[in-house]
A and B are shown apart, each in its own frame.
Chain A
Amino acid sequence: AQKVTQAQTEISVVEKEDVTLDCVYETRDTTYYLFWYKQPPSGELVFLIRRNSFDEQNEISGRYSWNFQKSTSSFNFTITASQVVDSAVYFCALFGSSNTGKLIFGQGTTLQVKP
Chain B
Amino acid sequence: GAVVSQHPSWVICKSGTSVKIECRSLDFQATTMFWYRQFPKQSLMLMATSNEGSKATYEQGVEKDKFLINHASLTLSTLTVTSAHPEDSSFYICSARHLQGIGNTIYFGEGSWLTVV
Do chains A and B interact in one complex? yes
**What is the minimal beta-carbon distance from A103 to any residue of chain B, in angstroms?**
6
Interface size class of A (residues with CB under 8 A): 20 to 34
Interface of B, secondary structure class, is strand
> A69 CA to B69 CA in the complex, in Å?
38
Contact of A106 (CB < 8 Å), options: B41, B43, B105: B43
B43 with A44: CB separation less than 8 A: no
Partner of A103, one of B95, B109, B110, B111: B95
Known A37-B108, A43-B113, A47-B105; contact A103-B34, beta-carbon cutoff 8 A: yes
Does B97 lie at the interface of the complex (its beta carbon under 8 Å from any beta carbon of A)? yes
Cβ contacts under 8 Å, B32 to chain A = 101
Is B110 within 8 A of A44, CB to CB? yes
Q: Which residues of A contact B103 (CB under 8 A)?
A: 33, 50, 52
- Distance (Å) between the CB of A112 and the closest chain B CB? 13
Interchain CB contact under 8 A, B107 and A43: no
A91 contacts partner chain B, Cβ-Cβ < 8 Å: yes
| Interface pair B106/A44, CB less than 8 Å apart | no
B58 at interface, CB cutoff 8 A:
no
A contact residues around B44 at 8 Å (CB): 45, 91, 103, 105
